[in-house]
């Protein structure tokens, strides 16, 4: 199967983590998000082990929770002794609810509100990643008011062009995130940080983009960042002690995707860091990575019931499902590729070319075009693979559709981690 979590069982049905998907749809209904917790934990361990094996454990894996955040997920990350990257008050609030150790929280965002910053200061968040000068000044003031010294990292645009979709590239100069190196803006931000009274410049951060398969741009970016750290040492006699290389490691959505192992990503970037530090006689920095997609993406699937089938002669056949862009907007946004199968006919051959449509009132509500699929009948179960990252997280109530429940499978047992919404939930805040 396309991902490690999936099997075809003796009935010819798709199974995840050893559980028949049809058992799950019968128990919980559709649409349904299902995640393999064993796989999530395995992914966590492979990153943590890589830091331990290749960098003597002198670092932290901070799961980028924007990929999938809920109490259970924050609990898993806490349990795996990792750090967490949050990017809003809501993500921080959720991490707080499970008692996530504050010092292991990294707080991101290009426009954190004063209230979000106050929340982070009060909770004692370990590192706030400052994105711009306005924020630097605001945070300095808020820290003074709270009578606290705050550890900050500066978000730097290293000018590396990662080969991925335009909307998820972030390392280049024309990006809303961070300080550019080549314009001198980054050096200026360092100078201003060093002049603040209540902020401690602990490190630098960069994130070059997402769903990247090449290791080379990461290595290149790490070299640029270290060179910059050396320039800072030279200019101000100040040593920046931490380097955060962000996330962005690609996953398998379709069989043509062939990402290197996460261990290799980490290993190769570390090799570059070690060589550069040696050459420049710079002490090895405390190293942070922020993988999101690669922790949860392949571990998740979405299950739908197939409804209307519309054949337009000589044009296409639309297969409609009982969800769509409201639970997975990624095709509408990025033309993202997915692998599909009919869960109750998983061992049959895919002989039909179809287009998978959602149920939203929008022509662009498509999950995949020209997809090869088994023969289908109304009432069959459609499975979409690798939907663990940025699907639930980006879901909406467009058309007042309900957000589906999220199930996790561990040791071949299923449990509900996010309840599906009800119509009462939908009107809860209506006055």
Q: Which residues bind ligand LLP (CB under 6 A)?
A: 64, 66-67, 85, 108, 168, 207, 210-211, 246-249, 290-294, 330, 390
Q: How far is the CB of 349 from ligand LLP (least distance, A)?
A: 31
Q: Toward ligand LLP, which CB reaches closer, 62 or 371?
A: 62
Q: How far is the CB of 157 from ligand LLP (least distance, A)?
A: 12
**Looking at the DSSP assignment, which residues form a beta bridge with residue 310?**
318
Judge contact between 310 and 265, C-beta under 8 A: no
User: How is residue 202 written in tokens?
Assistant: 């602990």
* Sequence-separated (6 or more) residues with CB below 8 Å from residue 110: 131, 132, 176, 177, 178
Greatest Cα-to-Cα distance within the chain, rounded to the nearest angstrom: 72
Q: How far is the CB of 108 from ligand LLP (least distance, A)?
A: 5
What whole-number distance in Å separates Cα of residue 303 and Cα of residue 384?
7
Q: How far is the CB of 210 from ligand LLP (least distance, A)?
A: 3
* Sequence-separated (6 or more) residues with CB below 8 Å from residue 279: none
Q: How far is the CB of 87 from ligand LLP (least distance, A)?
A: 7
Q: Toward ligand LLP, which CB reaches closer, 28 or 109?
A: 109
**Looking at the DSSP assignment, which residues form a beta bridge with residue 200?**
151
Return the CA Rg of the chain. Answer: 23
Q: Toward ligand LLP, which CB reaches closer, 109 or 420?
A: 109
**Looking at the DSSP assignment, which residues form a beta bridge with residue 385?**
301
CA distances from 400 to 30, 88, 226, 387, 426 (A): 16, 24, 49, 21, 7
CA distances from 388 to 141, 274, 275, 384 (A): 39, 33, 35, 10
Q: Toward ligand LLP, which CB reaches closer, 126 or 230?
A: 126
Indicate which residues carry an active-site annotation.
361
What whole-number distance in Å separates Cα of residue 402 and Cα of residue 399?
9
Judge contact between 61 and 51, C-beta under 8 A: yes
Judge contact between 162 and 217, C-beta under 8 A: yes
Residue matched to tokens 């070319």: 353
Q: Toward ligand LLP, which CB reaches closer, 248 or 368?
A: 248
Q: Toward ligand LLP, which CB reaches closer, 246 or 285?
A: 246
Q: How far is the CB of 279 from ligand LLP (least distance, A)?
A: 27
The 3-state DSSP class for residue 249 equals: strand
User: How is residue 85 written in tokens?
Assistant: 């990257």
Q: Toward ligand LLP, which CB reaches closer, 83 or 292?
A: 292
- DSSP 8-state assignment for residue 404: P
């Amino acid at each position: 199967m396309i991902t490690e979590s999936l099997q075809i069982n003796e009935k010819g049905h798709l199974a995840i983590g050893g559980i028949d998907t049809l058992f799950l749809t019968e128990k919980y209904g559709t649409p349904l998000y299902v995640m393999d917790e064993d796989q999530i934990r395995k992914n966590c361990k492979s990153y943590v082990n890589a830091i331990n094996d290749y960098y003597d454990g002198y670092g932290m894996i901070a799961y980028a929770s924007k990929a999938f955040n809920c109490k259970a997920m924050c609990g898993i990350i806490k349990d795996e002794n990792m750090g967490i990257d949050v990017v809003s008050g809501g993500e921080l609030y959720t991490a707080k609810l499970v008692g996530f150790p504050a010092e292991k929280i990294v707080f991101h965002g290009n426009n954190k509100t004063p209230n979000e910053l106050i929340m982070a200061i009060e909770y004692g968040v370990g590192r706030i990643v400052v994105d711009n000068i306005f924020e630097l000044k605001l945070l300095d003031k808020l820290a003074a008011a709270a009578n606290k010294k705050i550890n900050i990292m500066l978000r730097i645009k290293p000018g590396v062009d990662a080969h991925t979709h335009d909307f998820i590239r972030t390392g280049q100069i024309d990006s809303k995130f961070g300080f550019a190196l080549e314009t001198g803006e980054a050096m200026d931000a360092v100078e201003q940080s060093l002049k603040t009274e209540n902020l401690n410049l602990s490190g630098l951060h960069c994130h070059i983009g997402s769903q990247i398969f090449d290791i080379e741009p990461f290595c290149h970016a790490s070299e640029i960042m270290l060179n910059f750290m050396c320039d800072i040492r030279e200019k101000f006699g100040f040593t920046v002690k931490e380097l955060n290389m962000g996330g962005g490691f690609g996953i398998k959505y379709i069989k043509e995707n062939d990402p290197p192992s996460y261990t290799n990503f980490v290993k190769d970037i570390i090799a570059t860091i070690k060589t550069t530090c040696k050459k420049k006689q710079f002490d090895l920095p405390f190293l942070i990575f922020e993988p999101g997609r690669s922790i949860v993406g392949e571990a998740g699937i979405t299950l739908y019931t197939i409804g209307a089938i519309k054949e337009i002669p000589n044009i296409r056949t639309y297969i409609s499902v009982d969800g769509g862009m409201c639970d997975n907007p990624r095709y509408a946004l990025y033309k993202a590729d997915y692998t599909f199968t009919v869960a109750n006919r998983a061992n049959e051959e895919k002989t039909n070319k179809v287009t998978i449509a959602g149920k939203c009132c929008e022509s662009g509500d498509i999950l995949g075009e020209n997809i090869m699929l088994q023969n289908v009948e109304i009432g069959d179960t459609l499975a979409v693979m690798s939907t663990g990252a940025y699907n639930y997280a980006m879901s909406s109530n467009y058309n007042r559709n309900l957000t589906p429940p999220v199930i996790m499978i561990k040791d071949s047992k299923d449990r509900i981690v996010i309840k599906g919404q009800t119509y009462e939930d939908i009107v809860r805040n209506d006055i």
